[in-house]
Structure 1
Amino acid sequence: MPQINPERWHAVEKLIDHFCNTNQVPAIALQVNVKETSRLYSRGRQRLNDNGDTLREDAIFLIASITKPIVVLGVLKLLEEGELLLGDRVKQFIPEFGCAGKHGITIRHLMTHTSGLPDMLPNNRELRSANAPLSEFVKQICQLSPDEPPGRIVQYQSTGIAILSEVIQRITGLSCAEYLNQVLFQPMGMKDTSLGVPEEWYEGDQPKVERIVEIRIPDELDIEPDWDWNSPYWRGFGAPWGGLLTTISDLGKLVEMLKNRGVFQQKRLFSHRTILKATKDQLATISGLSATEKEGKGWGLGWQMVSNTKSDYYGDLLSTSTYGHGGATGTLLWIDPELETSAIILTTQPQEPHGRFLARITNAIVSAIEG
């Protein structure tokens, strides 16, 4: 039976201490679950200019692209309810999307990053600088031409996740944020989780917004404070591709549900088959992909297949059945079914493109597990 070796776990804590004490990473919060055993550890600063360890136990992190598979889960809830099929063309739900070579793009293409759409809009920076609303992003994505026809390439695409959020709104009449809160966050008691900061987080004597941890902005991005990750605009924007705010404990509830194949605290939220399909490589189902195009890549429905990916975020020691997702703000979630282990690593140090801090922490975690 897998279990945590106490002495080796101490090495995980020492590594985190080293990263924070040397200011390589301003703050780190960690949750590791091995079967029924859970370990929590956190170090660092709530604000970049703080002195000492000021990171709150209830700190709220912007988890960036870990948002993507959570939005996909919302769409999969609609699939379970018979509202759509993976093979449905997106234009069935968003008619104005079906132009400029996007007629054949399906829900499956968007979930597996095989739509051919670019990651971001060409004028992404200008839109953010102008504090444009999400609706403007969606409008312009609908006018885009894909880089390749759907099903020909595997190309990471935030734009596709934005369109999935619009599919949710067209079907339910609710914003993506409202829908996820209704079908995911509330049922699992994720009270400190939201896609974008809601108005009520600013209310009261101790507003919840004060619990959001400040991110260290890389020099190349530290030129537009009105729209960086710490800005009120971006926190409130609620980007479906990267705007979820949550705590380590709330995200742990989502991981519990995934590990239990759709069950959370004896309540079934998703069918076993839905979670199984979402967390297994789906690229083989995309008939137009060549073997060369699939090489070094692996996508379930929203989730990245660690064994097939060239991403450095996941380190070197995870099992071939592992799935997860990383975020550009320095965050990572992975679940290793073979090792019966999961980890959530939330930091405030952006680590694109290599994620070396995350990978080194992951290697230390896996090395601490025996049996």
Structure 2
Amino acid sequence: MVRSSVWMEGWLTFLVRNICFFEPIYDSSSNSVTTKLDLQRLNQLCNFFDGTVQRGDISGAAFQLSVGDHHKVTKAFRRFEPNLAAPMQQDSIFPVASITKPFTVAAAVLLAERGQILLDEPAFIYLPEFGNSGKEAITLRHLMTHSSGLPDMLPENQSLRARHAPMSEFIEQINQLKLDFPAGTGLQYQSTGLAILGEIVQRVSRIPLKEFLRKEFFKPLGMKDTALGIDGLPEERVPNLKLPPEQEGVDWSWNSPYWRNLGAAWGGMFSTVEDLTHFLKMLLNGGEFQGKRIFSKSTVETMIRDQTRLMPLVPNEQKVMMRGGLGWKLAPSSCWGFFGDFLSPGSFGHGGATGTVFWADPKRDTTFALLTTQPSIWSKSLLDKASNLAIACVD
């Protein structure tokens, strides 16, 4: 009987590897031969990426689709370019851009769970120099939910990067910003707020944010190829990105040593599809992963609960367009991109400007992580379509 199960599992592996042109890996530690992945539709997902790569829509991508504890498919695609900086592999390490944001928020949430901060306290209590120009009313929750009134980026963002400014200068500039609207009265995507939140985590914990993330999340979750900033990671496994026009020919682009080492709290993380899946699995499992508890169940429930609907001064249309939890974008939403059309209500995730997305669908016990070399200004439609194809694979 055991031999039969092993044979059938091997046959399933053979089918998946041959249905998908680029040889995805199907991993299963279960003896059950009942898969939760539709192999024909998985073939469609693989063919989709095959086509986008062969047409030159993207030069490289990797994804991992996982259902439950024992069913996952991991795949990498790339064009055969002799001068490619790093060959695309299933464990290629990508700059994930704003996928960093949920991790920075999670760090602050962990401090709150430990009684070191309160989410509805003003941010300036922990960062006194931030408390000016109307920012005194901004709470940590506002920073976590894009309701602070801060702009997305500093007006001086490019000039700071052009002269390779340290993160401390970004914080100094953000501390002097004026608000676009009073905190709690609207929703507006704000990377500057995540920079402040990251600085608060550092001050309260008394260790650098990148070390906090490594100690509290990356190490216990087995995220061995993830870091805030590239320091300590094997750079030969990091592919170069196609650059947007404003970053071509400059020494501060996403591909530059400066940006790769800056460690921006809003978008400076590097990771793999496998590592990102570990984080999502931990949340789907109520804060625990492979016997290691990171958060309590109640904390996870709060993080992925709709926070914006409880804001009385935010216009209703914004609540629908930008539905969000603590650091997470929530489905369904008419504004947050990259989730596609078919995720279950209550699904959560995040995307990034470097052409990245990861999400979890609790109803289907499914996670999907997709990392590409094509910035989202060109690849948004691709990311949405990939999400549709991925969730359609789940029986």
Tell me, yes or no, whether TM beats 0.5: yes
Aligned-pair CA distance for 1:45: 5.0
Distance change (3 Å), C-alpha of 1:2 and 1:334: farther
Aligned residue in 1 for 2:58: 25
Give the alignment partner of residue 257 of structure 2, picking from 223, 232, 254. Answer: 232
Which residue of 1 is the match for residue 18 of structure 2?
A: none
Which of the residues 310, 315, 340 maps onto 2:335?
310
Structure 2 residue identity aligned to 1:196:
G
**Residues of 2 paired with 1:219 and 1:162: CA distance?**
25
Corresponding residue for residue 14 of structure 2: none
Matches within 5 A, 1:275-294: 275-294=300-319
Map 1:213-252 → 2, pairs under 5 A = 213-224=239-250, 226-252=251-277
* Alpha-carbon contact 2:77-2:89 (below 8 Å) kept: no
Which of 70, 73, 78 is the aligned partner of 1:39? Answer: 73
Does residue 1:72 correspond to 2:105, yes or no?
Answer: yes
SS, match of residue 363 in structure 2: coil
Q: Distance in 2 between matches of 1:48 and 1:149?
A: 52
Largest Rg, 1 or 2: 2
Q: 1:333 aligns with which of 355, 358, 363?
A: 358
**Is the partner of 1:161 in helix, strand or coil?**
helix
What residue ranges of structure 1 are gaps of 5+ in the alignment?
202-207
After superposition, the Cα gap between the structure-2 partners of 1:329 and 1:355, relative to the gap in structure 1 and judged at 3 Å, is same
Mapping for residues 137-286 of structure 1, pairs under 5 Å: 137-198=170-231, 200-201=232-233, 208-224=234-250, 226-286=251-311
* CA distance in structure 1 between the partners assigned to 2:230 and 2:45 by the alignment: 32
Q: Any idea what SS the aligned residue of 2:137 has?
A: coil
After superposition, the C-alpha distances for 1:266-289 in whole angstroms (9 at most, x for unaligned) are 221100011111111101232321
Instruction: State the match for 2:393 in structure 1.
Output: 368
In structure 1, C-alpha distance between the alignment counterparts of 2:322 and 2:53, rounded to whole Å? 32
Cα distance, 1:219 vs structure 2: 2.7
Superposition RMSD in Å: 1.8
Q: What's the TM-score once normalised by structure 2's chain length?
A: 0.88
Residue 49 of structure 1 and its aligned partner are, at CA, apart by: 3.4
**Secondary structure of the residue that 1:162 maps to in structure 2?**
helix
Structure 2 distance, partners of 1:94, 1:79, is: 16
| Partner AA of 1:234 in structure 2 | W
Deviates more, 1:232-241 or 1:339-348: 339-348
Report the equivalent of 1:49: 83
User: In structure 2, what is the Cα distance between the partners aligned to 1:130 and 1:46?
Assistant: 35
CA contact (8 A) 1:324 1:333 kept: yes
Q: Give the Cα separation in 1 of the matches to 2:379 and 2:93.
A: 24
Contact conserved, 1:2 with 1:369, CA < 8 A, in 2?
Answer: no
**Residue in 1 aligned with 2:20?**
none
Q: Aligned pair in 2 of structure 1 residues 78, 45: CA closer, same or farther (>3 Å)?
A: farther
- CA-CA distance at 1:70 after TM superposition: 0.7
**Alpha-carbon distance in structure 2 between the residues aligned to 1:237 and 1:299:** 27
Counterpart residue type for residue 274 of structure 1: T
- Match of 1:355, SS state, is helix
Structure 2 residue runs of 5 or longer lacking an equivalent are 1-33
Deviations 1:126-176 (A, max 9, x none): 001011011100111011111111001100000000000110111111111
- Please tell me whether the aligned partners of residues 87 and 239 of structure 2 are also in contact (alpha carbons under 8 angstroms): no
TM-superposed CA distance for 1:213, in Å, is 1.3
Contact 1:281 1:305 in 2 (8 A): yes
Change (3 A) 1:293 1:364: closer
Aligned length: 361
Aligned residue number for residue 130 of structure 2: 97
Residue 280 of structure 2 aligns to a residue in which SS? helix
Q: Kindly, what percent of the aligned residue pairs are identical?
A: 40
Tell me how far apart the structure 2 counterparts of residues 244 and 293 of structure 1 sit (CA, whole Å). Answer: 28
Query: CA offsets, 1:69-124, max 9 Å, x none?
Result: 11111111100110111101001000010001101000000000000000000110
Letter aligned with residue 23 of structure 1: G
Q: TM-score, normalised by structure 1?
A: 0.93
| Alpha-carbon separation, structure 2, partners of 1:185 and 1:50 | 28
Offset of residue 2 of structure 1:
8.3
Change (3 A) 1:185 1:131: same
Secondary structure at the counterpart of residue 236 of structure 2: helix
Any conservation in 2 of the 1:46–1:55 contact (CA below 8 Å)? no
The counterpart of 1:346, out of the listed 352, 365, 371, is 371
| Offset of residue 293 of structure 1 | 3.2
| Higher RCO, Cα 8 Å, sep 6+ | 1
